Amino acid sequence: MYENGQSVTLDSILTAVKHDSDIGFTGGRTTLSYLLRAMGFEWKKTDNRRSLMERNDIVIARSDFLMEYMKLKAEGYEFVFLDETWFYSKGYASRSWQDKNKESCSSKNLDEGKRYIVLHAGGTNGFIEDAELLFPSKTKEVDEYHGTMTAEMFQKWMKEMLLPRLAEPSVIVMDNAPVHSVLKVKRPSSKWRKGDLQQFLTEHNIPFRPEHTFKSLLLKTSEIVVQKRYVVDEMIQEAGHKVLRLPPYHCHYNPIELVWSQCKRYYHRHRGTTFDHQAVTRKWRQALNQVSVENWKNYVAHTEKITEEDWRVEVRHDASETSVIVNIQEDSDDDDVPLAVPIPGPSGVST
């Protein structure tokens, strides 16, 4: 809508998503307002009115991702997309197209049975052979599956199961889940011990005296610029590959989300009546095997189309410095008072 110069209000967004069969939104104004905020928008005060604005960090992260994606694609790199997901042994019915932020998606657990965690990777040539990790979870809480998959498990999988199976320099695309984002050097905090602060200062050649208090030592560490370096990123780079991290709330840039949806539909339809570990793993691997190379190519092409269109939108708006007008009045029925939002989210944000 903003590309056509139209004023975008909560009601106009609601009308658009209700008429889009691909989105399938059935909620109301309150739900839509909640989802928009959960997708990375926040309230701002403009001329004594409340407006919903996309967070600057998300705008910057998306722009950086799109720029790097287009650059690496032009250089001819192969892209490998990875992600974790979960399914229930007795099947379930929920939408798969979700973000890792538990507030930005909802799913109904209609199942009883053990929950399984899956980690895999693939691209235009299909799944990376023998790179699947599958194990039963200890919890059934939907938002806790990243707590089940530990950083140590993910790093071990990356080192032993994925990287050795990549035959050529590739770009590994992943989100910023906590298990993917363990820092090489952690930033000091008030939770550190005094001895740890002293060691940190020593390693960075910052002088201090033994009688310095904890607070003064912590203040001294704030003078040090610590470059954000992830353990997994360095592991990937040392193996000769590149890393591209998805911006927050942009799982629609990752084709493996569509692959998971296909796998879960298959598993749910063919789950049978036996749910012991052997039967579950056998049926899930059948679900993986029925995802063809052609399926993968189509899913990658679909997300590439979205990504490239969002890049064109970024370029156009950079050239024109166009503002999008968004108005959301939760406590009023007057939804047509325009409020300026400096930088609009591309096509994927409104879904």
Region of poorest pLDDT, from 84-98, 102-116, 149-163: 102-116
Q: Are 146 and 178 in contact (CB under 8 A)?
A: yes
pLDDT at 172: 99
Residues 82 and 211 in one domain: no
Residue 214: partners with Cβ closer than 8 Å, 6 or more residues away: 194, 197
Q: Is the pLDDT of residue 331 over 70?
A: no
Supply the pTM of this predicted model.
Answer: 0.71
Residues 243 and 96 in one domain: yes
Residues 283 and 330 in one domain: no
Tens-place pLDDT, residues 149-170: 899 999 999 999 999 999 889 9
- 72 within some domain: no
Residue 65: partners with Cβ closer than 8 Å, 6 or more residues away: 244, 245, 246, 247, 250, 253
Residues 196 and 301 in one domain: no
Q: Is the pLDDT of residue 124 over 90?
A: yes
Residues 150 and 30 in one domain: no
Return the percentage of the chain with pLDDT > 90, whole number: 50
Predicted confidence band of residue 38 (pLDDT cuts 50, 70, 90): low
Q: How many domains does the chain have?
A: 3
Residues 142 and 276 in one domain: yes
Span 297-308, mean pLDDT?
97
Region of poorest pLDDT, from 140-144, 158-162, 308-312: 140-144
Q: Is the pLDDT of residue 262 over 80?
A: yes
Span 119-140, mean pLDDT?
92
Residue 44's domain comprises 2-59+321-350
